């Protein structure tokens, strides 16, 4: 068995997410028999300093891999985590370096062990000290090496405070309307519109009305996930065209659902926020692709998903680098069938505490019953939701989908008046 020390560093996107994912890949390997990790440190960038701070940690492993195999393994982690190294010393999603391999000295073209610069770098020596205070590096004890580092070098490496439950701690603001300065997570946001885009007239009429009542974002599905294949499945590309036109005409930011990876480009070009629907909450390839693009993503809770599964799905998006995630509670299936779903409002403060992400509540799908939309909207805001998503239709009786849960214009007006008075 070989004792190996590795250094992990990251300064792009969801840094904690990358560290955790790299660590998990090491831990899951059948060639790695035991693994120990240091604390995590935040470090000012080295060399080219106009770049974000790094998170660094070290791990100690027992492995059967020889040095070249170990190198390949590390490179594979970097590849899988999508490292894009544009400039030398530049930002990277994850860097995995071999520091020490037993007491061996290796000096080949592609691998130098001990790592040549490690003795001068506090961000390597400091975490290594957590793992083993007796380490000997090129004939020198690690604590002596640490003591010899300049104060400035040591000061640049600070223990990183993590809330273990919060891989989203560096999440960025999701600004929805620059002119108005509307920000998810800070303001109460109302998303409103029909379940599906049915025609230009229906969509424009709804958009103009919800806008006149103070809605912040316009919703409307072009691709509709329907239980029965015989139901209206949306206008698809034609729907996206209508979405774009109405967006331009009303100047409202819009949200629409992405159901299939193959439609990503089209949907991306038509919308301000990408919605991942309940049925796709665990469509992992779709989540990863949503994480690789830069528009905000609203992740609806799976209809039978636990809170933990829902957070795990958000992490799928975040680890790809997109931390502009909005969580949407839309009810879950329980034994009760009086309502379409059981709206789980306790999830709102839980998600906020666990992830720090903004949470939107959708009482339309959450209850399936028009009369319940208003009271549950007020309840959602009262328990800390950052906003609402409600379905509104000019003539719900004639709606091609979800008419029974869609608000009529008068209802929406009444609801908005109350919300404006109490929350805006
Ligand atoms: C929707 O909001 O359009 C929708 C289909 O909701 P859900 O994915 O929550 O069922
Ligand atoms: Mn609907």
pLDDT, one tens digit per residue, over 319-371 is 888 889 999 999 999 999 999 999 999 999 999 877 878 999 999 999 999 99
pLDDT on residue 85:
45
Any idea which residue has 């909207």 for tokens? 377
Contact status, residue 254 vs residue 219, Cβ threshold 8 Å: yes
User: Does the annotation count 97 as an active-site position?
Assistant: yes
233 lines ligand 1 (CB under 6 A): no
Torsion 320-325-327-333 (CA) sign: negative
301 lines ligand 1 (CB under 6 A): no
Cα-based angle 125, 130, 135 (whole degrees, multiple of 5): 60
401 lines ligand 1 (CB under 6 A): no
Integer Cα distance of 202 and 184 in angstroms: 27
302 C-alpha vs ligand 2 centroid, how far in Å?
14
One-letter-per-residue 3-state SS of the chain: CEEEEEEEEECCCCHHHHHHHHHHHHHHCCCEEEEEECCCEEECCCCCCCCCCEEEEEEEEEECCCHHHHHHHHHHHHHHCCCCCCCCCCCCCCEEEEEEECCCCEECCCCEECCCCHHHCHHHHHHHHHHCCCCEECCEEHHHHHHHCCHHHHHCEEECCCCCCCCCCCCCCEEEECCCCEEECCECEEEEECCECCCHHHHHHHHHHHHHCCCCEEECECCCCCCCCCCCCCCCHHHHHHHHHHHHHHCCCEEEECCCHHHHHHHHHHCCEEEECHHHCCCHHHHHHHHHCCCCEEEECCCCCCHHHHHHHHHHHHCCCCCCEEEEECCECCCCCCCCCECCCCHHHHHHHHHCCCEEECHHHHHCCHHHHHHHHHHHHHCCCCEEEEEECCCHHHCCCCHHHCECHHHHHHHHHHHHHHHC
Integer Cα distance of 271 and 254 in angstroms: 6
Which numbered atom of ligand 1 lies nearest the CA of 224?
A: 5
pLDDT on residue 64:
96
Which numbered atom of ligand 1 lies nearest the CA of 389?
A: 2
Q: Where are the domains of the chain?
A: 2-159, 174-423
Q: Is 50 exposed, middle or buried (0-12, 13-18, 19+ CB in 10 A)?
A: exposed
Locate 204 and state its tokens.
């424009």
Shortest-distance ligand to the CA of residue 391: 2
pTM of the model: 0.66
396 lines ligand 1 (CB under 6 A): no
- Equal CATH topology for 2-159 and 174-423: no
Which numbered atom of ligand 1 lies nearest the CA of 330?
A: 9
Which numbered atom of ligand 1 lies nearest the CA of 279?
A: 8
Q: Is 200 exposed, middle or buried (0-12, 13-18, 19+ CB in 10 A)?
A: middle
- Nearest residue (by CA) to ligand 1, atom 9, is 278
pLDDT on residue 81:
77
- Nearest residue (by CA) to ligand 1, atom 10, is 278
Residues, CB-to-ion distance under 5 Å, ligand 2: 195, 402
User: Does the annotation count 155 as an active-site position?
Assistant: no
Catalytic pick among 21, 83, 126, 370: 83
Which numbered atom of ligand 1 lies nearest the CA of 300?
A: 9
User: Does the annotation count 66 as an active-site position?
Assistant: no
pLDDT on residue 178:
73
User: Does the annotation count 187 as an active-site position?
Assistant: no
Contact status, residue 15 vs residue 55, Cβ threshold 8 Å: yes
In CATH, 2-159 is 3.40.50.720: no
Mutate to test the pocket of ligand 1, among 258, 300, 313, 401 (most ligand atoms within 8 A of CB): 300
Contact status, residue 301 vs residue 275, Cβ threshold 8 Å: no
225 lines ligand 1 (CB under 6 A): yes
Per-residue pLDDT of the chain (424 residues; tens, 9 = 90+): 999 999 999 887 667 878 888 998 899 899 999 999 999 999 877 665 566 788 999 999 999 999 999 999 999 998 887 655 444 444 567 899 999 999 999 999 999 999 998 999 999 999 999 999 999 998 899 999 999 999 888 888 988 876 555 556 555 678 888 777 788 877 899 999 999 999 999 999 999 999 999 999 999 999 999 999 999 999 999 999 999 999 999 999 999 999 999 999 999 999 999 999 999 999 999 999 999 999 999 999 999 999 999 999 998 998 888 889 999 999 999 999 999 999 999 999 999 877 878 999 999 999 999 999 999 999 999 999 999 999 999 999 999 999 999 999 999 999 999 999 998 7
If you classify domain 174-423 with CATH, what class do you get?
alpha beta
Contact status, residue 359 vs residue 424, Cβ threshold 8 Å: no
Catalytic pick among 21, 97, 301, 402: 97
277 lines ligand 1 (CB under 6 A): yes
195 lines ligand 1 (CB under 6 A): yes
pLDDT on residue 88:
46
């Amino acid at each position: 068995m070989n004792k190996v020390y590795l250094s992990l560093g990251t300064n792009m996107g969801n840094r904690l997410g990358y560290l955790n994912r790299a660590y998990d890949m090491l831990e899951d390997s059948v060639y790695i028999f035991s693994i120990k990790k240091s604390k995590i440190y935040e470090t000012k960038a080295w060399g080219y300093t106009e770049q974000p701070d790094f998170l660094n940690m070290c791990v100690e492993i027992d492995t059967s891999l020889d040095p070249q195999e170990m190198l390949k393994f590390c490179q594979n982690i970097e590849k899988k985590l999508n490292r894009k190294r544009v400039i030398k010393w530049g930002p990277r999603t994850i860097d995995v370096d071999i520091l020490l391999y037993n007491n061996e000295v290796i000096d080949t073209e592609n691998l130098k062990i001990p790592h040549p610069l490690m003795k001068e770098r506090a961000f390597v020596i400091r975490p290594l000290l957590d793992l083993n205070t007796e380490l000997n590096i090129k004939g020198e004890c690690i604590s002596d090496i640490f003591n010899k580092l300049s104060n400035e070098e040591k000061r640049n490496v600070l223990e990183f405070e993590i809330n273990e439950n919060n891989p989203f701690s560096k999440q960025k603001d999701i600004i929805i309307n620059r002119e108005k300065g509307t920000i998810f997570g800070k303001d109460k946001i109302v998303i409103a519109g029909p379940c599906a885009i049915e025609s230009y007239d229906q969509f424009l009429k709804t958009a103009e009305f919800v806008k006149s009542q103070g809605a912040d974002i316009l919703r409307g599905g072009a691709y509709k996930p329907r239980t029965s294949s015989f139901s209206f499945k949306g206008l698809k590309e034609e729907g996206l065209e209508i979405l774009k036109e109405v967006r331009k005409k009303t100047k409202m930011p819009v949200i629409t659902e992405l159901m299939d990876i193959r439609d990503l480009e089209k949907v991306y070009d038509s919308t301000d926020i990408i919605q991942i629907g309940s049925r796709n909450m665990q469509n992992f390839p779709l989540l990863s692709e949503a994480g690789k693009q830069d528009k905000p993503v609203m992740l609806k809770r799976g209809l039978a998903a636990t809170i933990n599964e829902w957070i795990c799905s958000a992490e799928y998006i975040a680890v790809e680098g997109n931390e502009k995630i909005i969580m949407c509670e839309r009810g879950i299936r329980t034994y009760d069938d009086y309502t379409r779903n059981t709206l789980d409002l306790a999830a709102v403060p839980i998600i906020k505490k666990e992830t720090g992400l903004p949470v939107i509540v959708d009482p339309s799908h959450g209850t399936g019953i028009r009369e319940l939309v208003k009271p549950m909207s007020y309840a959602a805001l009262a328990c800390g939701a950052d906003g609402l998503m409600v379905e509104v239709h000019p003539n719900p009786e004639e709606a091609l989908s979800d008419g029974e849960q869609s608000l009529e214009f008068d209802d929406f007006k009444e609801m908005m008046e109350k919300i404006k008075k109490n929350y805006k």
